[in-house]
Structure 1
């Protein structure tokens, strides 16, 4: 092969300005900590007590399984909410570690994205563009060239810990409190890597974050990648969250056997019921995986575990619990070509997460209004 036809790598950033890393080091901005008023941090149930961007308490009466404890440092579902009158908005972030996943974009694992607008009318605006090999970055989120009063929601990274965040606005910009939720209590979602947001391209596309834009509630995302196994100690910690509006249990995919599903689900629900006798509980079986089309045993396993969940809910209903419900998760991605909504036959793309949220939203809304 001649040198004139030697293959070379493509550096898209040099060919397309929209592909470049977009960083700032703007000391002309006023840098504010979202730990302080009037910012509101949502999605971390123990934040008011511990002031940490973490999804489970640092100190718990129940021992947290080590893998769950580690995954609790991932900030999925966290949000920074505020009102601002500024022409510019930037963010400084210190991560626990840089991006390192092969099948999930760094923007989803380690980035923030920005939505503007009041509840029910939030529109996506931007995502942080940063050097994915570095654990710290500063990135612009908007520059209007004029001051505008806007409601801002910033979604935290899905698969990495965040140690520090700073918000940059115009030196004279006003910053105010965000609008309040419809309820003082959160919607608590417990589950797997799919619940956690693997493998959304950016944080706002995890299905709990999609739902948070249509339902005026705080969402607590307790998805633990590979480790949402229905342990009773985790159930007791979740039950300690004050004043929940709704529980969603979406952890089937991590249980493995039918027997483990049958063993954990009644106990998990019982623990929640001891603290919250009438809070609605929605049990959601897992979405379809691509292998089911080719491997009958995989399909049978899903259907057998689905039947365990359905029968558990029906048994509890017959015993008098009118506030526990079941939803067949196999319907969430649609009936045809569901595998095209995934990255790897398991974890949804943004399209997959949007379809999940679109299917879940009317069911959740009816339970909240019921």
Structure 2
């Protein structure tokens, strides 16, 4: 092969793309499930001991696809304070990155934010060989020795079997600052809710919102399988101390009739356990094809009306803590430029979704 035909090795040519597999300084390794670390986003972690979004043995049967997707760790976070000058992670995944339209950094990586609530700033994302199921990666090193709050966001589209936190051997570790409340913000929805196709975990829209509201967020987005089954309503209703429930699953309803059946039933089941918890129903975002396919646009309009009517009927019956939000304009006028594939948002799309929902969520949580 001639010199001209040699493949370009970008990871060697650009130092900012090189994989850093281990810190120069020795590390002490910690399990985040042990004190003083705090793991958020997994309602049954203490019960089952797994980074999983549903219980391992739910009281109600769930579809096989939902059961498999529950192992994806979307919405999980590790929080702590440390004065360590370096931080690394050792990660064991259930599988390697395998998505054609979503970066390995979003599917299988962790990213790192520094700062207390209201001051969190993104610092880094794990760098590793995306063909591997086990990796070690440096998230930062050679920082000044001072106490700082760290938040690590779990991968969005892969199961994490184990993660270890590496700090300097002489570093201190302390609990993170407390949330404003123990009450939880709960999302139920689709692949978009789960975070497809954010380039890194912190840019899924529920994770963006979690940096704007000092609460624990729980992500029950199930790619292609957020269909509003009553069993899921019952399982989610088991979670104590909800502050609000956001339903964003229209995109996975295969028909208007299915949405008409499932949405009122889902809400009614949840209301049995939580009669006063605020509920927000969101219609789906605009897809690129909506402007070119009249039938798609018609279905979208029909399903928006189904959701609006379901909310209005509940309010007419005296439920004043349920609300509807039209998701059609969340991506703005250039909606078709905010997705990877015409459906799943880019980071820009997710930021626009979070920006549009922030004032609504603020009114619900402070009302």
Q: Tell me how far apart the structure 2 counterparts of residues 171 and 25 of structure 1 sit (CA, whole Å).
A: 12
* Matching residue of 1:34: 32
* CA 1:108–1:86: 2 relative to 1, 3 Å: same
Q: Tell me how far apart the structure 2 counterparts of residues 122 and 320 of structure 1 sit (CA, whole Å).
A: 40
User: Which deviations, in whole Å up to 9, do the C-alpha atoms of 1:278-309 show, x marking residues without a partner?
Assistant: 00000000000000111111111111000000
Q: Tell me how far apart the structure 1 counterparts of residues 193 and 258 of structure 2 sit (CA, whole Å).
A: 19
SS of equivalent residue, structure 1 residue 181 = coil
2:345 aligned with 1:348: yes
Task: Give, in angstroms, the shift of residue 10 of structure 1.
Answer: 2.0
Task: Give, in angstroms, the shift of residue 65 of structure 1.
Answer: 1.1
Task: Give, in angstroms, the shift of residue 5 of structure 1.
Answer: 8.7
* Matching residue of 1:196: 194
Task: After superposing the two structures, state which structure 1 stretch, 14-23 or 187-196, moved more.
Answer: 14-23
* CA 1:340–1:27: 2 relative to 1, 3 Å: same
Is the 1:289–1:346 Cα contact (8 Å) retained in structure 2?
Answer: yes
CA RMSD of aligned residues (A): 1.2
* Matching residue of 1:44: 42
Task: Give, in angstroms, the shift of residue 7 of structure 1.
Answer: 4.5
Pick one of 82, 85, 91 that aligns with 1:84: 82
Q: Tell me how far apart the structure 2 counterparts of residues 28 and 21 of structure 1 sit (CA, whole Å).
A: 18
* CA 1:174–1:199: 2 relative to 1, 3 Å: same
Is the 1:86–1:173 Cα contact (8 Å) retained in structure 2?
Answer: yes
2:270 aligned with 1:265: no
SS of equivalent residue, structure 1 residue 148 = coil
Pick one of 99, 110, 113 that aligns with 2:111: 113
Structure 2 residues without counterparts, runs of 5 or longer: none
**Mapping 1:180-191, distance limit 5 Å:** 180-191=178-189
* Matching residue of 1:240: 238
Pick one of 141, 153, 156 that aligns with 1:155: 153
Is the 1:25–1:138 Cα contact (8 Å) retained in structure 2?
Answer: no
Regions of 4+ moved over 6 Å: none
Is the 1:84–1:151 Cα contact (8 Å) retained in structure 2?
Answer: yes
SS of equivalent residue, structure 2 residue 162 = strand
Task: Give, in angstroms, the shift of residue 144 of structure 1.
Answer: 2.7
**Mapping 1:1-370, distance limit 5 Å:** 7-24=5-22, 28-334=26-332, 336-370=333-367
Q: Tell me how far apart the structure 2 counterparts of residues 10 and 290 of structure 1 sit (CA, whole Å).
A: 34
Is the 2:308–2:324 Cα contact (8 Å) retained in structure 1?
Answer: yes
Q: Tell me how far apart the structure 2 counterparts of residues 192 and 145 of structure 1 sit (CA, whole Å).
A: 39
User: Which deviations, in whole Å up to 9, do the C-alpha atoms of 1:102-141 show, x marking residues without a partner?
Assistant: 0000000000000000011100000000000000110111
Q: Tell me how far apart the structure 2 counterparts of residues 185 and 48 of structure 1 sit (CA, whole Å).
A: 17
Q: Tell me how far apart the structure 1 counterparts of residues 18 and 25 of structure 2 sit (CA, whole Å).
A: 22
SS of equivalent residue, structure 2 residue 251 = helix
Q: Tell me how far apart the structure 2 counterparts of residues 228 and 368 of structure 1 sit (CA, whole Å).
A: 24
Task: Give, in angstroms, the shift of residue 146 of structure 1.
Answer: 3.3
* CA 1:4–1:87: 2 relative to 1, 3 Å: closer
Q: Tell me how far apart the structure 1 counterparts of residues 157 and 174 of structure 2 sit (CA, whole Å).
A: 29
Task: Give, in angstroms, the shift of residue 60 of structure 1.
Answer: 1.2
Q: Tell me how far apart the structure 2 counterparts of residues 265 and 315 of structure 1 sit (CA, whole Å).
A: 12
SS of equivalent residue, structure 1 residue 365 = helix
User: Which deviations, in whole Å up to 9, do the C-alpha atoms of 1:132-167 show, x marking residues without a partner?
Assistant: 000011011111343121000000000000001110
Q: Tell me how far apart the structure 2 counterparts of residues 46 and 9 of structure 1 sit (CA, whole Å).
A: 47
TM-score, structure 1 normalization: 0.97
Task: After superposing the two structures, state which structure 1 stretch, 8-17 or 220-229, moved more.
Answer: 8-17
* CA 1:307–1:145: 2 relative to 1, 3 Å: closer
Task: Give, in angstroms, the shift of residue 339 of structure 1.
Answer: 1.0
Q: Tell me how far apart the structure 1 counterparts of residues 143 and 346 of structure 2 sit (CA, whole Å).
A: 34
Structure 1 residues without counterparts, runs of 5 or longer: none
Q: Tell me how far apart the structure 1 counterparts of residues 105 and 254 of structure 2 sit (CA, whole Å).
A: 30
Is the 1:116–1:153 Cα contact (8 Å) retained in structure 2?
Answer: yes
